[in-house]
């Protein structure tokens, strides 16, 4: 893979990159409609493929929040055409890495020393490059370490990047401006936290200590003294990413074991800690040689306040949904039904959201759930596609907490589907009373 020797850092450089990509997309549309003159039956597959390639190339060179949004969108599989999902999924594992001189510069800026002066061994070639940083292998006193280095300028460019991403998001997502602004504001808050590596180290230590009670889940040890604003040092965890693990054709028993560890990891956090690892893409997990789930990134944590947690999980884990008035009251607390809604609108949104909640809650309604069953996911995606086409859903509804909580839970469901795992879903239950 080609190394990147520089990242556009200033607002003007980054803006120019977006403008150039906009022109490329315009060119793709002209090419598409020219071909369509001679072939009226031509579909949009080639156009989507060209646009996805150009947008991904641009975002992967810009890195940071721009690339992070691509990563998030790749997990919302019912939002984008398949060519975008396929292309953007690359951002979960392998964006172009930074060159050696840029890495050394980051170290000297943060520690006043080169990596070789800090560690006994340091591999200048990264093992993994993603949206906000890349990972290098190092050694110190015989211990194998993972060193995560943040890309230059990422933290400083979040707000301006998100403004530049807006026109692309408009075209791809079809959201109203109000809805898009809520989405972008929440993403901005999480990204600002995610670029604060000192906060990440503190949170990683707190959450991994709290999660020590869980079976078959392992975490790296973090080293605050070898970490700073743009660098995190932690233990190296050997293992396979999900894709590699599935290629080894694991037994159903092992799939279930890893799936159970993943389910427990998420539901323990949601219900016992009220704060959850909100970045459930496969690149953040390893399956270790001793058949445990390794969790290697706590950059994105979503805290759930009571005024969201209680009404949301009461809909999933209690008899609230059997009582129409109580359900509508919960929907109002979550801003899914608005005070200005007419009786007809209340009825419409009540039915639409009830269908969504009943679908989402299915894994919680029995003691075990088989995530390999395709009909559950077919129904989920069909529901997503159905409401995406409804004009009633073009305006913003629902409190901002849904953005990351939905992303977290649907990300969890998707990984469990890829694992084809059967899990016990009654291990950590919501606390509503």
The answer to whether the beta carbons of residues 245 and 287 sit under 8 Å apart is yes
In degrees, rounded to 5, the angle at the alpha carbon of residue 15 between the alpha carbons of residues 13 and 17 is 75
- Would you call 292 helix, strand, or coil by DSSP? coil
* Residue 265: predicted pLDDT: 96
pLDDT of 102-113, one tens digit each? 888 889 988 999
287 shares a domain with 174: no
| β-bridge pairing 275-277 and 301-303 | antiparallel
For residue 410, being part of any structural domain is answered with yes
Count of structural domains within the chain? 2
Q: Which domain holds residue 89?
A: 11-95+155-192
For residue 334, being part of any structural domain is answered with yes
Which of 192, 215, 248 is the last residue in one of the domains? Answer: 192
Q: Please tell me the pTM assigned to this model.
A: 0.77
For residue 216, being part of any structural domain is answered with no
Half-sphere exposure of 417 (CA within 13 A, CB side): 15
Tokens read off for 131: 């949206």
Q: Residues with Cβ < 8 Å from 337, sequence gap 6 or more?
A: 328, 331, 345, 346, 349, 350, 353
Taking 3-state DSSP, the helix, strand and coil percentages for the chain, each rounded to the nearest 5, stand at 60, 10, 30
Tokens read off for 35: 């071909």
374 shares a domain with 315: yes
243 shares a domain with 186: no
d(CA 72, CA 183): 12
d(CA 45, CA 57): 18
- Would you call 429 helix, strand, or coil by DSSP? coil
Which of 164, 192, 220 is the last residue in one of the domains? Answer: 192
* Residue 131: predicted pLDDT: 67
* Residue 60: predicted pLDDT: 55
For residue 104, being part of any structural domain is answered with no
* Residue 81: predicted pLDDT: 45
Q: Residues with Cβ < 8 Å from 64, sequence gap 6 or more?
A: 131, 132, 151, 153, 154, 157, 158, 161, 191, 195
- Please report how the helices 64-75 and 401-419 are oriented relative to each other, as an axis angle in degrees rounded to 10: 60
433 shares a domain with 300: yes
The answer to whether the beta carbons of residues 396 and 176 sit under 8 Å apart is yes
* Residue 25: predicted pLDDT: 47
* Residue 389: predicted pLDDT: 75
Tokens read off for 281: 């893409």
180 shares a domain with 62: yes
Radius of gyration of the chain from Cα atoms? 22
244 shares a domain with 165: no
Tens place of pLDDT for every residue, the chain, 433 residues?
A: 445 455 555 555 655 555 555 545 455 545 544 554 555 555 556 555 655 555 556 555 555 555 555 555 544 444 444 544 454 444 444 555 667 888 888 899 889 999 999 999 999 988 877 667 888 999 999 999 999 998 777 777 777 767 766 666 655 555 567 767 777 777 788 888 888 899 999 999 999 999 999 999 999 999 999 999 889 999 999 999 998 999 999 999 999 999 999 999 999 999 999 999 888 878 889 999 999 999 988 888 889 999 999 999 999 877 888 999 999 999 999 999 999 999 999 999 999 999 989 988 999 888 999 999 889 988 888 887 787 778 887 666 788 888 788 888 888 998 999 999 999 999 998 888 6
For residue 127, being part of any structural domain is answered with no
**Helix spans in 334-400 (H):** 343-360, 374-388
169 shares a domain with 23: yes
d(CA 20, CA 356): 40
For residue 125, being part of any structural domain is answered with no
Could you tell me the maximum CA-CA distance found in the chain, to the nearest angstrom?
69
* Residue 170: predicted pLDDT: 57
Half-sphere exposure of 182 (CA within 13 A, CB side): 15
Q: Which helix (H) or strand (E) holds 104?
A: helix 100-111
271 shares a domain with 169: no
pLDDT of 308-343, one tens digit each? 999 999 998 778 889 999 999 999 999 999 999 999
* Residue 216: predicted pLDDT: 97
For residue 3, being part of any structural domain is answered with no
Residue 254 is classified by DSSP as H
- Residue whose C-alpha is closest to residue 265's, from 200, 202, 216, 316: 216
d(CA 236, CA 214): 20
For residue 133, being part of any structural domain is answered with no
pLDDT of 213-235, one tens digit each? 999 999 999 999 999 988 999 99
317 shares a domain with 171: no
List C-alpha distances in Å: 207 to 118, 279, 291, 395, 407.
27, 14, 21, 36, 20
245 shares a domain with 172: no
DSSP string for 142-156: TEEEEEEEEPTTTGG
170 shares a domain with 44: yes
374 shares a domain with 248: yes
* Residue 319: predicted pLDDT: 84
């Amino acid at each position: 893979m080609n190394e990147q020797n520089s990242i556009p850092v200033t607002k003007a450089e980054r803006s120019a990159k977006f403008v150039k990509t906009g022109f490329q997309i315009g060119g793709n549309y002209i090419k598409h409609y020219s071909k369509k003159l001679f072939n009226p039956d031509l579909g949009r597959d080639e156009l989507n493929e060209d646009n996805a390639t150009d947008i991904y190339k641009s975002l992967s060179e810009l890195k940071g929040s721009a690339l992070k949004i691509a990563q998030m969108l790749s997990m919302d599989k019912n939002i984008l055409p398949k060519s975008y999902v396929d292309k953007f999924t690359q951002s979960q594992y392998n964006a172009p890495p930074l060159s050696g001189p840029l890495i050394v510069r980051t170290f000297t800026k943060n520690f006043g020393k080169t990596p070789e002066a800090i560690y006994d061994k340091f591999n200048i070639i990264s093992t993994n490059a993603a949206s906000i940083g890349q990972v290098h292998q190092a050694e110190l006193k015989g211990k194998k370490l993972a060193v995560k280095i943040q890309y230059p300028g990422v933290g400083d460019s979040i707000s301006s990047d998100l403004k530049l991403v807006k026109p692309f998001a408009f075209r791809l997502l079809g959201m109203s401006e109000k809805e898009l602004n809520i989405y972008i504001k929440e993403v901005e808050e999480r990204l600002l936290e995610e670029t604060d590596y000192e906060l990440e180290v503190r949170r990683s230590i707190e959450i991994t200590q709290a999660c020590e009670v869980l079976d078959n889940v392992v975490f790296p040890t973090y080293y605050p003294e070898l970490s700073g604003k743009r660098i995190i040092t932690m233990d190296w965890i050997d293992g396979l990413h999900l894709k590699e693990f599935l290629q080894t054709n694991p037994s159903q028993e092992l799939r279930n074991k890893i799936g159970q560890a993943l389910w427990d990891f998420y539901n323990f956090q949601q219900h016992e800690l009220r704060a959850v690892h909100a970045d459930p893409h496969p690149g953040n997990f390893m399956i270790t040689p001793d058949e445990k789930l390794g969790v290697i990134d706590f950059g994105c944590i979503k805290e759930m306040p009571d005024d969201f947690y209680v009404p949301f999980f009461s809909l999933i884990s209690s008899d609230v949904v059997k009582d129409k008035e109580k359900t509508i009251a919960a929907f109002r607390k979550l801003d899914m039904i608005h005070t200005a809604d007419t009786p007809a609108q209340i009825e419409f949104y009540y039915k639409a959201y009830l269908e969504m909640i009943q679908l989402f809650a299915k894994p919680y309604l029995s003691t075990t759930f088989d995530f390999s069953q395709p009909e559950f996911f077919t129904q989920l995606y069909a529901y997503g596609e159905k409401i995406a086409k409804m004009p009633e859903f073009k305006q913003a509804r629902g409190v901002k907490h849904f953005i990351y909580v939905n992303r977290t839970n649907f990300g969890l469901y998707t990984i469990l589907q890829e694992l084809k795992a059967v899990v016990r879903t009654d291990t950590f239950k919501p606390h509503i009373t």
